[in-house]
Amino acid sequence: MLRWIRQQLGFDPPHQSDTRTVYIANRFPQHGHYVPQRFADNRIISSKYTIWNFVPKNLFEQFRRIANFYFLIIFLVQLMIDTPTSPVTSGLPLFFVITVTAIKQGYEDWLRHKADNEVNGAPVFVVRSGSLVQTRSKNIRVGDIVRVAKDETFPADLVLLSSDRAEGTCHITTASLDGETNLKTHFAVPETAVSQSVSRLEALQAVVECQQPEADLYRFVGRITVTQQGEEIVRPLGPENLLLRGARLKNTKEIFGVAVYTGMESKMALNYKCKSQKRSAVEKSMNTFLIIYLGILLFEAILSTILKYAWQAEDRWNEPFYNQKTEQERNSSQILKFISDFLAFLVLYNFIIPISLYVTVEMQKFLGSFFIGWDLDLYHEESDQKAQVNTSDLNEELGQVEYVFTDKTGTLTENEMQFRECSINGIKYQEINGKLVPEGVMDDLPDGSIPCLIREEELFLKAVSLCHTVQISYDQIDGGFGDPFSLSHTGNGFTQMEYFASSPDEKALVEATKRMGVTFIGNNGEHMEIKTFGKSERYKLLHVLEFDADRRRMSVILETPSGEKVLFTKGAESAILPYTKSGELEKTRVHVDEFALKGLRTLVVACRHFSAEEYREVDRRLHEARTALQQREERLADVFSFIEQDLELLGATGVEDKLQDKVQETIEALRLAGIKVWVLTGDKHETAVSVSLSCGHFHRTMNILELVQQKSDNECAEQLRRLARRIKEDHVIQHGLVVDGASLSLALREHEKLFMEVCKNCSAVLCCRMAPLQKAKVVRLLKTSPEKPITLAIGDGANDVSMIQEAHVGIGIMGKEGRQAVRNSDYAIARFKFLAKLLLVHGHFYYIRIATLVQYFFYKNVCFITPQFLYQFFCLFSQQTLYDGVYLTLYNICFTSLPILVYSLFEQLVHPHVLQSKPALYRDISKNGMLSFKTFIYWTLLGFCHAFVFFFGSYILMGEDTTLMGNGQMFGNWTFGTLVFTVMVITVTLKLALETHFWTWMNHFVTWGSIAFYFIFSLFYGGIIWPFLHTQDMYFVFVQLLSSGSAWFAIIIIVTGCLFPDVLKKVLYRHLQPTNTQKSQLVETQQGSVSCLDSLCCVGPEGEEGPGVCVRLARLVERLMGRCAPPRADRCDLSLSSLCCHRIGYKLERDEAPALRD
């Protein structure tokens, strides 16, 4: 129980040893003083709160906000001393704000708990007490033997014990961990591989000793000790024996494994970054503004206190006849009196700090987040998935993004490879209807006929279908007729054949040769079998020369059915062509370049025929290198180079890694918006570069710089200096940087500054072979750089979770790699293309709405409390309030709250289609431009100016002669305060109306309804004697005020005097110095006027052609609008006639030219 409580509170007992000992099936030793180690349970926790820490943790986070903490202090002051206003005026709003925010954040965390419970409650099978028992995932303990079936994910980190195969192998995919969709083979040690039944596993006596949990996915060091007939057999364990949580079992019926790392100690969980409260740039600006306003408040309170005592220095004001002091007051401490008066003024002016700002912001974020889910443009019909908001605290941050870090596999691509073209013996071929046809030749063979292949074509197809490490899975089906080469007859029906490959390219190529008639049938480790147009051929597999990053090729040595020894090799162009001695070298090189220009992934295929003596030499050298105990890798590399030379070039292949829809357009839109895109992937160097080129991340004209395969700090530093020099020397060409994980580790160790300098001068950066935590480190590196840019990370797998949590905004893709990224993200979308609208439209709207909301709140509170301060000069700083207590409480809650809330939900400065078609508008709001200090000063000074007009305008009209009633009745203190308050409510409401660009019926309702509600409420509040009120100072005050024609005249004059300069300023600035947004509004308005001419464009007077009229009409519209200059139209590929005949939402401005060059 104590341990459980410690875990709930976030404490976990530290490990006492560097290694852990796991007794398989939890069969602990029965003798000696064995103390069992404590391990974490198998629960995954992505939530932030528990039932125990929710209240203290949430309160701590909320009172970090300056306004909340300030109002708590004010509330306590009101409780302790006699103040002009009731403690309810501060305590009730504070309680409301804290409660609403806690409910919202609690609800969001409950959704995370719900998602965690789905994972932790998933059914699994474990071996206990000699039988297979079904339990929940969270109940798995370290040492349990777990059974996993085909296509299931591993519920914990398991050491493989056995599989349904006699050799104890299984195949898995780790797409959700490192982004790779290729098939990986894992092995069981021979002593446990034979334990394929529950009874034999129950009898297994074995102990696993391994390192304590660490985040590195590719490192595992351990050993297993198996006791057989009293003898202990020790076998080493490595990464090939470990099945990681989140990986998926493929091409294997079932496996048994022992859990060694569980729950938050699994490698997948250790690659999650600890959750922290993300705070947007707007919220940080709000806190800064609040500190400034707190300074203003303290200044006003101190000044008022000093002036009070300065005034009372005169005897006639110290103890006036109508307010003589008591004996206790005369004898009290002057210091305590000063402090008491200071605190009283503090409470009197405290409404300058808008506590309702936070609750309005919370409501705006919470309600506004529904618009993302409701947006049909973000709905993916094929998968029936809509956009999802996991946290609404960062809505406005979507409008401030400067860097996007994206995963590749499953985020930019669909994980689907398709064979497109090939080159054989210098001739380009395409696949048409499953047949290999030379380019430019039509397929004229009848369906079902067998094509006649020349020797070079057949040899090329055989090489492609044999040079690989593809595995085959056979699934029985009940009948039907399909491809005769993929179905083999059995007693009960047919067996469907499915390929699994260590590389997606290999799978696509083998499937392509199968469609063309050369079908790979199987590989049993000793022989490979193919069918060439139905004729079976059996090759003996002699050697496999595995792929490695240095050679960038792989080869197989086979014995043909005729007994000839042949080498087939395939690899990157630069790894094959230099070693060829025959074949159409130049033509093939040209074809490879053409394939690359189309964005295809290219491989070159070659062969070598060995004589008997040559093969004996090859076999001998391979055997010596593979059995060497010292420098095995170097000796193997030398032998591989000896073998893979004097090659005969056969041809090349072009495979398309299918991109998601509109990826290229999305990346280009982000680039025009001033956002830099970095691709961070765990994939291979060549694959990543190829996809970057095809998706538009790298341009063909871009100079690609490489920081790869660096071995030491000095080597890495020197390469970085060379790259920096190249960038400085070349000012014209755009640069793209490619860096791998190993080199990145060296660069980040001691050369961060130099590395960042190179990266920032590159238009695009690609990081490949990245571990999950390395992705997070790169994001953190940019986040903490001196410029402090706003970052966004987007991915679809568990390997992207750390990056998503590290970035300011994390977005999960609802892809094929599980839901880990979605669960841990701030937002989730179904496709990468939706990112453009999410940022350029929703981000733009959210930011301008909340920026205006924040500035407006400060403005209306300055308007509210400044007359209170000015009034003290006319009441001897007696702390008399200008407004009634009910008005003080309801000003922010009722009278002025709804218009700004509705504005912040619906305002649109520019139509969404214009924002999407003109991405450069995103630059106008970047770097928190609408909440700059200059804008803040403008709104603050505007509030002070309006407040002075309210107060002194009312004072001038009423100060000399208070007999404004026709019967000579005089106005009093409350009437004056009510006049100021009435003018203020009308002015601040109409000021927001002037700021509103997009009017809906709700805007009209709350704007005019708020003013009407104020009048109706005041009439009822002051027109009736309420029995539950002790005093009613406002009785009949408002009715008398409205019955005075002079008061109505004052209201109209003061409101007009306040707002007319604002209107004049807006008109002048819009015409003399329009912003890009205002220009777009003008285009949008003109668009409506042009659209009415649509029907005239193609129909001219009799005898005249439509286009001629259209051109003349377009020129007339140009002269009227002064907007459609031909150079501008030409730059964005618009004809003059198109300006008339179509609705154009995108006009390229001067400031966008640099964006296109970027």
Instruction: Provide the annotated active-site residues.
Output: 407
Of 429, 436, 455, 421, nearest in space to 648 by CA:
455
* Count helices and strands in the chain by DSSP H and E runs: 45, 36
**Partners of residue 565 on adjacent β-strands:** 559, 610
Whole-number Cα distances in Å, 751 to 436, 466, 755, 756: 52, 45, 6, 9
The span from the CA of 398 to the CA of 808, in Å, is: 9
Residue 383 near residue 616 (C-beta atoms within 8 A): no
The span from the CA of 1067 to the CA of 1080, in Å, is: 16
Q: Which two tokens stand for residue 3?
A: 């341990």
Q: Residue 810 belongs to what H/E stretch?
A: strand 809-813
The span from the CA of 266 to the CA of 213, in Å, is: 7
Phi/psi at 952 (5° precision): -75, -25
Please report the sign of the dihedral spanned by the C-alpha atoms of residue 147, residue 152, residue 154, residue 159: positive
**Partners of residue 134 on adjacent β-strands:** 125
Cα 183 to chain center, whole Å?
28
Neighbouring C-alpha atoms within 13 Å toward the C-beta of 1000: 9
The span from the CA of 440 to the CA of 751, in Å, is: 53
The span from the CA of 411 to the CA of 795, in Å, is: 6
Residue 455 near residue 538 (C-beta atoms within 8 A): no
Q: Which residue has the tokens 């008109």?
A: 1067
The span from the CA of 421 to the CA of 461, in Å, is: 13
Residue 443 near residue 435 (C-beta atoms within 8 A): yes
The span from the CA of 791 to the CA of 402, in Å, is: 6
The span from the CA of 1132 to the CA of 1113, in Å, is: 20
Beta strands in 710-772 (DSSP E): 735-740, 764-768
By DSSP bridging, strand 580-582 and strand 647-659 are parallel
DSSP alpha helix (H) spans, 807-843: 820-823, 834-837
DSSP alpha helix (H) spans, 467-603: 504-515, 573-576, 585-597
Burial 949-978 (b: 16+ CB within 10 A, else e): bbbebbbebbeeeeebbeeeeebeebbbbb
Which long-range contacts (C-beta less than 8 Å, at least 24 apart) are formed by 314-321?
Answer: 317/876
Q: Which residue has the tokens 């160790």?
A: 749
